[in-house]
């Protein structure tokens, strides 16, 4: 089996860590929500840092991108995809376990997460130029990212 397949399989089991300590803090369903949030944040930090570093290098090099920044980008993007997939699985499992407490904020959060995940998958695996452009525009929308963060905050606030 390929080592990348094992890594993906291992990282998709990240949500299982929520079941390790189910005696405090409201049970495993609540812990899955925290695992989803933490994994999502960890997934975003390297991709944001890479974009900022790349912009800085391009600005300092007079518009010429270096090989070092483009060669590491693919591995950072793969890490981003794997961690966000694990966060998505944990978030959806959290939502399924707490389906009886469904409200408008939770439903909006699930829809926004699904749109972001679907656009990311399309962006990575589509070959059509038009579909790739649409996915890039949708996935990179700042308003969608702010909406996701706001919905997560509202979801947490309304639960306490």
- Alpha-carbon span 102 to 109, nearest angstrom: 11
Q: What is the mean pLDDT of residues 8-27?
A: 59
- Alpha-carbon span 113 to 36, nearest angstrom: 11
Q: Which pLDDT score, from 0 to 100, does residue 13 have?
A: 63
Question: Taking the domains of the chain in order of start, what are their residue ranges?
Answer: 27-97, 102-160
**pLDDT by residue (tens digit) across 123-135?**
888 888 888 888 8
Lowest mean pLDDT across 3-12, 28-37, 142-151: 3-12
H/E segment holding residue 45: helix 28-60
Instruction: Please determine, for residue 8, whether its predicted confidence score (pLDDT) is greater than 80.
Output: no
- Alpha-carbon span 43 to 39, nearest angstrom: 6
pTM recorded for the entire structure: 0.77
Lowest mean pLDDT across 10-14, 25-29, 96-100: 10-14
């Amino acid at each position: 089996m390929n080592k990348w397949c094992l890594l993906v399989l291992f990282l998709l089991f990240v949500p299982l860590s929520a079941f390790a300590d189910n005696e405090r803090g409201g049970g495993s369903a609540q812990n899955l929500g925290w695992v989803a949030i933490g994994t999502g944040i960890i997934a975003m930090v390297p991709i944001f840092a890479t974009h900022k570093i790349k912009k800085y290098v391009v600005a300092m090099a007079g518009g010429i991108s270096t090989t070092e920044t483009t060669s590491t980008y693919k591995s950072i993007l793969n890490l981003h995809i794997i961690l966000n997939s694990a966060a998505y699985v944990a978030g959806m499992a959290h939502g399924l376990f707490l389906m009886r407490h469904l409200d408008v904020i939770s439903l909006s959060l699930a829809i926004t997460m699904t749109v972001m995940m679907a656009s990311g998958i399309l962006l990575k695996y589509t070959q059509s130029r038009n579909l790739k452009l649409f996915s890039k525009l949708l996935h990179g929308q700042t308003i969608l990212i702010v909406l996701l963060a706001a919905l997560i905050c509202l979801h947490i606030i309304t639960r306490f």
